Amino acid sequence: MRRFRITHNTYYNFSGSVILGTHYLRLRPREGHTLHIESSTLTITPKPTLRWRHDVEGNSVAIASFSHPASQLSILSDIIIQQYNEDPLDFVVEQQAVDYPFVYEEDDQILLQPYMSDPPIESDKWLTDWISAIWQPGAAIQTYTLMQQICSHIYETFTYRIREEPGVQSAEQTIALKAGSCRDFAQLFMSAARHLGLAARFVSGYLHAPPTIDNFGATHAWAEIYVPGAGWVGFDPTIGQLVGADHIAVAVARLPESVPPVSGTFSGAASSVLDVGVWINECHD
């Protein structure tokens, strides 16, 4: 078991007084048999009325409602977790799904269908051509191996870029640019998996990694594939690896834009400046 402290600070500074609308906060990690929350503190200024709920995906969402004007909004999340996912390869795939292609069981297909298709596009020949450079239809391959090859290929042939602007590039845009952010790479990986008939979902969370000159701390994104017997298996094309103990999932969704860490509105004539800081430190005491 490993312990991590996650500090996630969000500041909105306004040039004048504004009325804050309802804000939705997805900052609490997803608990389960691989992750336990040891402590969690959420400090918000100005003080809101705070309610918690689970959304349709089972993500924890804090709903903050404000009653007074403000010129700044501060959201400070401080969480300590216990991470047990130290052996991500410790799973057994059901026999019918070991080799690709395979077909999901009928009951599973009903539940997985929303995760098996991207929004309609006129043509996905570009995606077929891109996948053909990794795997040719008819070639014998194990399901896990195919997914790992796609994950590694994105990492090895694309350029990672930090993108501050909101939104996610389409898979076609990322292939054309040969570059993107972690959320763009996750979208491309999901599109490839869905093109191959597999269920895939987007994951927003954190990655414990040494800071770089370009990235001192930020949220992270990757994708999960549903593999019978193994369940939802995470792949991180930004680093080309299977998701493990250094990954901390906060929210999952069919579409990337559905799970921003913080979302909300304000009204007023003022402009705003956003400042975000994220720190993930391993606790050794």
Query: 189 and 201 in contact (C-beta within 8 Å)?
Result: no
Q: Which tokens is 99 given?
A: 């080799």
Among 24-28, 82-86, 165-169, 235-239, the range scoring the smallest mean pLDDT is 165-169
Is residue 251 domain-resident? no
- Amino acid identity of residue 187, one-letter, is Q
Question: Total structural domains in the chain?
Answer: 2
Domain CATH code at residue 25: 2.60.40.2250
- Say whether both 80 and 99 belong to one domain: no
Is residue 142 domain-resident? yes
- Say whether both 166 and 270 belong to one domain: no
- Say whether both 73 and 205 belong to one domain: no
How far out from the chain centre does Cα 50 lie?
A: 24
- Say whether both 78 and 108 belong to one domain: no
- Say whether both 106 and 178 belong to one domain: yes
Is residue 215 domain-resident? yes
- Say whether both 209 and 124 belong to one domain: yes
Average pLDDT, integer, range 229-258: 95
- Say whether both 238 and 181 belong to one domain: yes
Is residue 252 domain-resident? no
Question: What is the tens place of the pLDDT at every residue in 183-229?
Answer: 999 999 999 999 999 999 999 999 998 766 555 567 999 999 999 99
- Say whether both 143 and 192 belong to one domain: yes
* pTM for the predicted model, two decimal places: 0.93
Q: How far is CA 68 from CA 15, 42, 216, 224, in A?
A: 16, 19, 34, 41
Cis peptide before 260 (omega within 30 of 0): no
Is residue 90 domain-resident? no
**Is residue 263 scored above 90 in pLDDT?**
yes
- Say whether both 76 and 152 belong to one domain: no
- Say whether both 275 and 160 belong to one domain: no
DSSP output for 50-62: EEEEE-TT--EEE
- Say whether both 123 and 198 belong to one domain: yes
Q: For residue 117, what is the DSSP state?
A: -
- The residue that leads in pLDDT, 166 or 77, is 77
Confidence of residue 121 (pLDDT cuts 50, 70, 90): low
Is residue 238 domain-resident? yes
Query: 41 and 77 in contact (C-beta within 8 Å)?
Result: yes
- Say whether both 121 and 236 belong to one domain: yes
Among 37-51, 120-134, 183-197, the range scoring the smallest mean pLDDT is 120-134
What is the C-alpha to C-alpha distance for residues 190 and 222, in angstroms, rounded to an integer?
Answer: 9
- Domain boundaries, position 275: 2-84+261-283
Domain CATH code at residue 117: 3.10.620.30
Is residue 178 domain-resident? yes
Cβ atoms within 10 Å, residue 170: 16
Is residue 255 domain-resident? no
